[in-house]
Structure 1
């Protein structure tokens, strides 16, 4: 994946990207790394990036252009998955922390 390699992302972070994570408004663009997709017991879920470190990554113009071309050919679709743990909650506290979350388009 050109975007993941060009930005130096881990695989799960690249899979968790949304077009709204790309900020093209600056002279030098920025990508907000806010989530990853991880596998827990053979099920996928959203989670914070490794080390729970949300961060911004510089967006080279070539990668920004590639992301825009990709989005034109493959429009985004909403995705809803559990957050952090896909197992059914057993307590109200688990239900609060595991509720499904949508990935912004």
Structure 2
């Protein structure tokens, strides 16, 4: 499982800047509780993710976070205002678009 930026030190993000990231203030809000320590009811998870998404919407490093998430394909958490499932869908769309572009170039 990938660690959420809120749980990483700045060097762990390598070329990304974590300074000023809103998720640093409440890691559990963005990544959820440790599943080995406590169960999170689906309704509670949805409410927590909604709040995390609202916070991400005002984050000054949202774009860098999104690019990092697309590259690392997280399996949990809220990243740049998207859940891990939404990021997987976005990644799949990017791959599909890239394949389309390659096919289009071959025809043209």
- Give the structure-1-normalised TM-score: 0.33
Which has more helix, going by share of residues?
Answer: 2
